[in-house]
Amino acid sequence: MMNRWARIVFLALLLTVAAGCATTNGGDARDPIEGFNRAMFSFNDGFDQAIARPVATAYREVLPAPVRGWVRNFFANIADLWIGANNLLQGKPADTVTDWARFAFNSTFGIFGLNDVASEMGLEKHNEDFGQTLGRWGVGDGAYIVWPFLGSSTVRDSVGLIPDIHFDPVLRHKPTGVRYFMAGTRGVSKRADLLDASRIMEEAALDKYVFQRDAHLQRRRSLIYDGNPPRAGREVSRAEEPASGAGKGLEAAVRLLEQPASPAVSTGG
């Protein structure tokens, strides 16, 4: 598993570098391999329309909301372990305590994580992964990449996927039969939760590819700053932002240094 991913990421990095040298005029500086990405995007879109969306829709029609809630909570509970580890790596031990306490309460009182009793107790769920940890450490986005099946990512987040996948309890599960069933169920559950969002996006977008890319990059930036990114100026257009990827990373690093670490810790309140 690990090896295959490492190879894919390496290949992508090569591709990124190669395509980066051949950036065409008028392209977006954040997206040097737009041609490749657009091809992957239409592949994913085709897969989504042919398989993922119909399966997720059927899942939503067949299972009552409480059962879907149990499935969502079960996988969310397992994920809290790695989320807590990432908060620790990001220097937010208070959040780690929350995440691991959530796991303890939900696994016991919540019956194997089927019920999110911790949220009702005021222990809020967080959203972390290793890509965000790298971002917190000052690593810039790098080029935007669309992966087959996995969708939107960046160079930094693709590297982050390696430990994310390696430490994913579901993907480590043995026997493999159960592992694939669990991974499949989790995928369907996640897609089902996004049915409304993806429909709204399609209605709102003039260019689905650009809409999704920009939304993804904004979202990741917000997540890295735990919802409090430095407020951007009102009339700043894309053209006025630094053009090079390196400049962007540097800028992000400077912003991280400027931002005190404390507001992130006090999110519980």
Partner 1 sequence: MLAMFVRLATAAATAGLVLAGGAQAQEMAPDALVKSVTLEVVDIIQNDKDIQKGDRKKVIALIETKVLPHFNFQAMTASAVGRNWDKASADQKARLMDEFKTLLLRTYASALAAYGNQKFDFRPLRAKPTDTDVTVNVRIMQSGSQPVTIDYDMEKRPGGWKVWDVRVGGISLVANYRTQFDNLIREGGVEGLIKALYAKNNSLEQPSVAGAQKK
Which residues of the shown chain bind partner 1 in the complex (CB under 8 A)? Answer: 26, 28, 60-61, 65, 69, 72-73, 76, 115-116, 119-120, 124-127, 193, 196-197, 199-200, 203-207, 210-211, 214-215, 218-219, 221-223, 227, 229, 231-232, 234-235, 237-240
Minimum CB distance to partner 1 smaller for 176 or for 206: 206
Closest distance to partner 1 from the beta carbon of 191 (Å): 14
Minimum CB distance to partner 1 smaller for 68 or for 173: 68
Could you tell me if 183 and 174 are in contact, meaning their C-beta atoms sit under 8 angstroms apart?
no
Could you tell me if 250 and 79 are in contact, meaning their C-beta atoms sit under 8 angstroms apart?
no
Minimum CB distance to partner 1 smaller for 73 or for 158: 73
Residues in the chain: 269
Closest distance to partner 1 from the beta carbon of 130 (Å): 17
Closest distance to partner 1 from the beta carbon of 4 (Å): 29
Minimum CB distance to partner 1 smaller for 9 or for 129: 129
Q: Is the Cα dihedral 183, 55, 146, 235 positive or negative?
A: negative
Closest distance to partner 1 from the beta carbon of 169 (Å): 16
Minimum CB distance to partner 1 smaller for 72 or for 248: 72
Closest distance to partner 1 from the beta carbon of 196 (Å): 4
Close Cβ partners of 129 (under 8 Å, ≥ 6 residues apart): 82, 83, 86, 157, 160, 164
Closest distance to partner 1 from the beta carbon of 63 (Å): 12
Instruction: Give the number of other CB atoms < 10 A from CB of residue 40.
Output: 20
Minimum CB distance to partner 1 smaller for 9 or for 118: 118
